[in-house]
C-alpha cells in the first residue's frame, strides 16, 4: 500500500488531486479489462459521486471462472500473482468507455439468451425448411 505523509497539507492536497483524476491503463491492459467488462466481470462506479468535479471511476476486477478462465488469458501485470480481485482508479475517459463496453456485453448476452429461449431445436433437426421430415 502506498504511504502518504500527512506532514505537509499541500502534499496531501496534491495527492488527493491525483486520485481524483485517476490514471489511464495502457492499451494492452485496457483491452484485457475491456474483455472482462464485456463478460460482466467488473464492478464500475464513480470514485466520488458526491463531488461533481471528480470524474474518476473506481474499478473492481473479478476473477474469471469456468470456460472463460480456460479460454481468456489475463496478464499477470494486470492482477499480480496469482490473478485475484483488485481495485483500480481510472480516469474519466477510460471509465466511461468501459461502462459502454459493459453495457454492450450485457445487451448482447441478453439477446443471445432471448434467442435461445425461443429456439426450437427439435424442429430444426427433424424437419427441413420446407416442412418435410428429414
Residue 114 lies in a domain: yes
Residue 64 lies in a domain: yes
* Chunked mean pLDDT (size 10), the chain, 134 residues: 66 76 88 92 91 90 82 66 66 95 97 94 82 68
Q: What is the pTM of this model?
A: 0.74
Q: For 129, phi and psi rounded to 5 degrees?
A: -65, -25
**Model pLDDT, residue 1:** 55
Residue 30 lies in a domain: yes
**Model pLDDT, residue 83:** 44
Residue 97 lies in a domain: yes
Max CA pair span of the chain: 84
Alpha-carbon span 110 to 50, nearest angstrom: 32
Residue 133 lies in a domain: no
Going by the DSSP 8-state scheme, the letter that residue 24 receives in this structure is: P
**Model pLDDT, residue 16:** 75
Residues 6+ apart with CB under 8 A from 41: 61, 62, 63, 64, 68
Give me the domain span that covers residue 80. Answer: 23-126
Nearest alpha-carbon partner for 56 in 17, 27, 29:
17
**Model pLDDT, residue 57:** 93
Residue 15 lies in a domain: no
Count how many domains the chain has: 1
Residue 110 lies in a domain: yes
Amino acid at each position: 500500500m502506498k504511504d502518504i505523509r500527512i506532514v505537509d497539507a499541500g502534499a496531501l492536497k496534491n495527492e488527493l488531486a491525483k486520485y481524483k483524476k485517476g490514471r489511464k491503463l495502457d492499451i494492452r491492459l485496457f483491452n484485457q479489462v475491456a474483455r472482462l467488462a464485456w463478460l460482466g466481470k467488473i464492478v464500475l462506479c464513480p470514485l466520488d459521486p458526491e463531488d461533481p468535479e471528480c470524474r474518476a471511476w473506481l474499478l473492481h476486477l473479478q476473477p474469471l471462472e469456468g470456460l472463460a478462465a480456460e479460454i481468456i488469458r489475463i496478464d499477470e501485470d494486470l492482477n499480480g500473482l496469482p490473478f485475484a480481485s483488485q481495485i483500480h482508479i481510472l480516469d474519466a475517459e477510460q471509465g466511461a468507455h468501459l461502462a459502454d463496453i459493459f453495457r454492450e456485453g450485457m445487451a448482447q448476452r441478453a439477446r443471445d439468451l432471448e434467442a435461445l429461449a425461443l429456439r426450437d431445436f427439435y424442429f430444426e433437426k427433424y424437419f427441413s425448411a420446407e416442412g418435410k421430415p428429414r
